[in-house]
A = this chain, B = another copy of it.
Amino acid sequence: MLSFESIQADVEKWLAELDYGKEPKNLYEPIRYAMSLGGKRLRPTLCLATCALFKDDYNQAKWPALALEIFHNFTLLHDDVMDKATIRRGKPTVASKYGLNTAILSGDAMLIEAYRLLQQTDSPSFSLITDAFNQVAREVCEGQQLDMDFETREDVTAAEYLEMIRLKTAVLLATSIKMGALAGGATAQETQSLYEYGILIGLAFQLQDDMLDSFGNPETFGKAIGGDIMDNKKTYLLIKAYEGADAQQRRELQAWMSNPEAVREEKVEAVKAIFQVSGAKDATQAKIEELFAQAMSKLREMEIPAEGKRYFIDYANTLFKRDK
C-alpha cells in the first residue's frame, strides 16, 4: 500500500503542473503565492488514499483531489480576509501582501478554478462526486458564518460549537474521504461509513487543535500560544469552563474577557488555570477521546479489508501523533 508521503509527493507534483493563468499578473500571482504556502495537503492525500483502497491506482481521484486542495486554500484566503489575519503558516497572508481587494478577487478565482478542475473528473460517479463537492462547499460557508455569528453571542452551547466545527472543518475532511471512495467505486454503504469516520476524526482533530492553542508546546505549535484566549473565542474549552466554573471562577473569567487592556501573558496564564480548575480541560480531552473511539469503532464495523482499516487507523494516529 502506498505511503501517505508518496501520495503527498504526487499531490505536490500535480499542483506544480497546474497553470492558473498569467495575465493579469495581479490576479494569478497571489494564487500561486497562496498555493505555495504549503501545508500537509491532507485533503487531497486523504481523497487519493481512499480511492486506492478500492482500486489499483488513484488516477480517477486526481481532479477531485486537486479541486479539494484549491478549495481549501480558497477558504483559508477568504477566512484570513474576514479575520484580518496577517500571518498564515509563518508568512504574510495574501491580504497583507497584496491588499484586501486582490485577496477577495484571487479567492474568487481560486473557487472557480476548483470547479474547473473538478469538471475534468472522468468517472462513472462524476455526478455524485460533484454533488458531494457542492454540498461541502456550501456547508463550509455555513460553518464560517456560524463562527462569525458566535463572536457576538454570549450563549453559545457546546452542541452549537460542535455543529460549527463540524461544518467549518470536519465536513471537508470527511468529504475528501467520500469523494475518494466514490472515485474508487466504493458502495454507498462503504462511502457513508467512511464519511462518518471522517466527521468524527475531523471533530476530534479540531478539538485537539483548540487544546493545542491553549496548552500546546510553544516550541512545536508553530504560532503563539493563547490566540483563542486573547480573542475570547468561544471554543469548547471556554464553553465548558463557563459550565464547570464556580461563581468566583466565573467572575474571574468574565473579568479577563471584558478587559481589552489585559496583558497577554497574564490573561493567558489565568484563563488556562481556570480551564484546568473548572474541569474544562479534562472535559475537552474526554470529548476528544470519545470521538476518537467512535471513529475507530466506525472503522471496525466496516466491511473493508483489514489492510484498509489499518490505513485509516494509522492515519488517525498520525493526526493525533500517537504512538499506538
Segment touching B, from A100-108, A171-179, A203-211, A314-322: A100-108
Q: Is A90 an interface residue (CB 8 A)?
A: no
Of B112, B130, B144, which contacts A119 at CB under 8 A? B130
CA distance A114 to B105 in the complex (A): 17
Q: Dominant SS at the A interface?
A: helix
Identical copies in the complex: 2
Nearest CB of B to A41, in Å: 22
Give chain A interface residues in 129-184, CB to chain B under 8 Å: 130-131, 134, 137-138, 141-142, 144-146, 148-149
Nearest CB of B to A242, in Å: 22
Q: List 19 A-B contacts (CB under 8 A).
A: A21-B142, A24-B146, A26-B145, A27-B141, A78-B104, A82-B104, A82-B105, A102-B145, A104-B104, A105-B141, A105-B144, A108-B141, A111-B111, A112-B137, A113-B138, A115-B115, A115-B134, A116-B134, A119-B127
Q: Is A23 an interface residue (CB 8 A)?
A: yes
Tier of interface size on chain A: 20 to 34
* A149 pairs with B26, CB closer than 8 A: yes
Nearest chain B residue, comparing its CB with the CB of A74: B108
Q: Is A109 an interface residue (CB 8 A)?
A: yes
* B149 pairs with A24, CB closer than 8 A: yes
Of B26, B82, B134, which contacts A112 at CB under 8 A? B134
Q: Is A47 an interface residue (CB 8 A)?
A: no
* B119 pairs with A131, CB closer than 8 A: yes
Instruction: Determine the chain B residues whose CB is within 8 A of the CB of A27 once the complex forms.
Output: 141-142, 145
Q: Is A253 an interface residue (CB 8 A)?
A: no
